[in-house]
Amino acid sequence: MRKRRGEKAADFCRKFSRNKAAVFGFAVAVVFILAALFADVICSYDKVTTQNIVERLQSPSAAHWFGTDQLGRDIFARIIHGARVSLGVSFLVVAISVLVGGIAGSLLALTGGRIDNLVMRLIDVISCIPGFLLTLALVAAMGSGIRNLMLAMCIRMSVGYIRVIRSFVLSVVGQDFIDAARISGMSTRKIAVTHVLPNALGIIIVEAAMSLSNTILSIAALSFLGLGIQPPAPEWGAMLNEGREFIRTYPHLIIIPGIAIALSALAMNLMGDGVRDALDPRSGQ
């Protein structure tokens, strides 16, 4: 019988679950995402900002699972609420950039001609500037703050997506099966949806998952430099910066947000790999 949609999904799950690293990444990502979603349920936001000098710089204990920082704030609460900012901003940035890049990239590839040429040259120019420098410059020009940080990140990432997706769509369109679909009487729009999109989807998802980890790192880095989220709002990169002075005496101030950043980035990468392999019908049966 012909494969139904449910069967395809089952196929995907079977392949994905066989990849241990991907499952690990997925589990970690789920923990982080749940923590971010239910941050208020787990611990109230008061704990994040309430300073308690008496309890400052405590090591992890039953009362404060991850200890307290130099102002006596509970690090566990700050990590949990920080996930909201770090992950939320990253997801949003990637989602917007993929959408912009996907639409613009495929349109450019399908129309071609002068507009395509013009836009691509503009993108060449933007790509000449190292990504991090570009974001820094944009944030510096627009003023620091979370909205400007996101805007700057979106600009930087969309440019990359447009390039990747455009060239991929071009390579799909050049193949014979597109011609074969055309002489089977398919309209251009239907070809785009039934042949080009499924073939491009894998690479879009993988690109998105891979750049998710990159985005998490970039946002942490920018916040570390004080360009992103402003205190006292909790953010992992900003927490690293604040704990910098205590690296020798109270290393948990650095280690815990560091682990959060590294673990979430790693999880996204592993998951992206797993998704790509499971989406490809050529990978092991």
Partner 1 sequence: MEGKILLEVKDLKKYYIPRGRKKAAVRAVDGVSFQIPAGTTYGLVGESGCGKTTVGKTILHLAEATGGQILLDGQDIVPYRGKELRRLWMRVQMIFQDPFSSMDPKKTIYQIVAEPLKEFGLCPAKEVRERVVETLESCGMSEDCLDRYPHEFSGGQRQRICIARALISGPEFIVCDEPVSALDVSVQAQVINLLKKLQKEKRMAYLFISHDLSVVEHVSDYVGVMYLGRLVETAPKKELFSNPRHPYTQALLSAVPVPQLHRTQKRIVLAGDVPSADAPPSGCPFHTRCRECQEICKTQVPKKRDCGNGHEVWCHFDFGK
Q: Which residues bind partner 1 (CB under 8 A)?
A: 1-3, 175-177, 179-186, 195, 198-199, 281-282
Rounded least distance, CB 171 to partner 1, Å: 10
Closer residue to partner 1 in complex, CB, 251/281? 281
Of 83 and 200, which CB lies nearer to partner 1 in the complex structure?
200
Residue 84 region by backbone torsions, left for phi larger than 0, else alpha for psi between -120 and 50, else beta: alpha
Which C-beta is closer to partner 1: that of 6 or that of 185? Answer: 185
Residue 194 DSSP class:
I
- Choose among 80, 95, 86: nearest CA to 34: 80
CB of 222 to partner 1, least distance (A): 38
What distance lies between CA 70 and its chain's CA centroid? 30
CB of 185 to partner 1, least distance (A): 4
First to last CA, the chain: 18
Please state, in angstroms and rounded to a whole number, the distance separating the CA atoms of residues 145 and 227: 7
Of the two residues 179 and 245, which places its CB atom closer to partner 1 in the complex?
A: 179
Q: Which is nearer to partner 1, 28 or 205 (CB)?
A: 205
- Complex with partner 1: residue 170 or 266, whichever CB lies closer: 170
Distance CA 179, CA 216 (A): 41
Q: Name the residue nearer to partner 1 (CB basis): 2 or 248.
A: 2
* Amino acid present at 273: D
Tokens representing residue 98 in the block:
């993929």
Question: What is the enclosing helix (H) or strand (E) of 177?
Answer: helix 176-183
| Residue 198 beta carbon to partner 1: minimum distance, rounded to whole angstroms | 5
Q: Token pair for residue 152?
A: 């700057």
Tell me the one-letter amino acid at 96. Answer: I
Sole residue written with tokens 């589990």: 27
Beta bridge partners of 74: 68
Q: Smallest gap, in angstroms, from Cβ of residue 111 to partner 1?
A: 14
CB closer to partner 1, 200 vs 254: 200
Q: Minimum Å distance from CB 209 to partner 1? A: 19
Residue 205 token pair: 């998802």
In whole angstroms, what is the distance from residue 245 CA to residue 235 CA?
17
In whole angstroms, the minimum distance from the beta carbon of 179 to partner 1 comes to 5
Measured at the alpha carbon of residue 20, what is the angle toward residues 14 and 23, in degrees to the nearest 5? 70
Write down the least CB distance from residue 281 to partner 1, Å.
Answer: 5
